[in-house]
Amino acid sequence: THDARAFLPRRGGIPAHRKAAAECRGCALHEHATQTVFGEGKASARLMLVGEEPGDREDTEGEPFVGPAGGLLRRAARDAGLDMKSAYVTNAVKHFKFEQAGPGKRRIHKPPSLREMTACRPWLEAELRIVAPEVVVALGATAAKSLLGHDFRVSHHRGEPLTAPVGTDATVVATLHPSAVLRSDNREQAYEGLVADLKVAGGLLH
Ligand code: URA
């Protein structure tokens, strides 16, 4: 198998897809990850937030954005006037990819490869089809490339209302990943940039 398609259920909503995704073997990432981390939120959500992949905490807990990046994202959403609780939150890749120096050592996040992003895309496409959001926020380069094409550069087009070539009629707004804000030398400015982009997304909701 080289992508998720064979594992997608023929019908059903988010719960059926979450259940099927738990058994996905569409790429090799399931071999070392604890579990699939599927999206969370109501299928009626008008706003979808897409991250990169689960982190260490998400991998353990089985829910997206429950770690440090999630904390920052929630604060930024609140400062932007967005109601995160009514949003659907997911990732471009549904398994944690990491490097570990040895047993019991810290698991260091690794970004997904293009192959892994492509393999996992059918799950994101299914979420987009079922939720049919009005606005999608791509958090960071991985999400932005999954949604807008591999040549897309967040640095050139962040905060702009965009149309995705395939997969959704939603308006897409790309911004920094909250983890990039946490790593930034100029954290204050990076944070304000994230909030500003999230405000753009909020302003597009009807
Ligand atoms: N980073 C992500 O991209 N997604 C998560 O769910 C958590 C951290």
pLDDT tens per residue, range 32-91: 999 999 999 999 999 999 999 999 999 999 999 999 999 999 999 999 999 999 999 999
Domain ranges of the chain: 4-203
Q: Report d(CA 149, CA 165) in Å as an integer.
A: 8
- The reported pLDDT for the residue numbered 86 is 96
Q: Evaluate: CB of 96 within 6 angstroms of ligand 1.
A: no
Q: From ligand 1's centre to the CA of 184, what distance in Å?
A: 17
**Over the stretch 130-184, which tens digit does the pLDDT of each residue have?**
999 999 999 999 999 999 999 999 999 999 999 999 999 999 999 999 999 999 9
Q: What's residue 206's pLDDT?
A: 84
CB atoms within 10 A of CB 7: 18
Average pLDDT over residues 13-37: 98
Residue type for position 188? E
- 9 CA to middle of ligand 1, Å? 25
| Stretch 94-111: mean pLDDT | 95
* Cα(37) to centroid(ligand 1), Å: 10
Q: Is the C-beta atom of 112 inside 6 A of ligand 1? A: no
Residue 90 in contact with ligand 1 by CB distance below 6 A: no
Between CA 81 and CA 203 the distance in angstroms is 10
**What's the CATH class of domain 4-203?**
alpha beta
**pLDDT over 80 (residue 1):** no
- Nearest one of 169, 134, 140, 170 to 154, comparing CA atoms: 140
Output the CA torsion 156→90→77→163 (10° steps): 40
Residues forming a β-bridge with 138: 50, 174
Compute the distance between CA of residue 7 and CA of residue 95 in angstroms, rounded to an integer.
15
- The owner of tokens 């109501």 is 42
| CB of 168 closer than 6 angstroms to any ligand 1 atom | no
Does the C-beta of 53 come closer than 6 Å to ligand 1?
Answer: yes
Q: E strands within 18-170? A: 47-51, 88-91, 98-100, 107-109, 135-139, 162-163
Residue 16 Cα, ligand 1 centroid: separation in angstroms? 22
Q: How many residues does the chain have?
A: 206
Instruction: Read off the tokens for 28.
Output: 């090799």
Q: Residue 101: what are its φ and ψ, rounded to 5°?
A: -65, -25
At a CB cut-off of 8 Å and minimum separation 6, what does 204 contact? 134, 135, 161, 171, 173
Ligand 1 within 6 A of CB of 65: yes
| Beta carbon of 125 within 6 Å of any ligand 1 atom | no
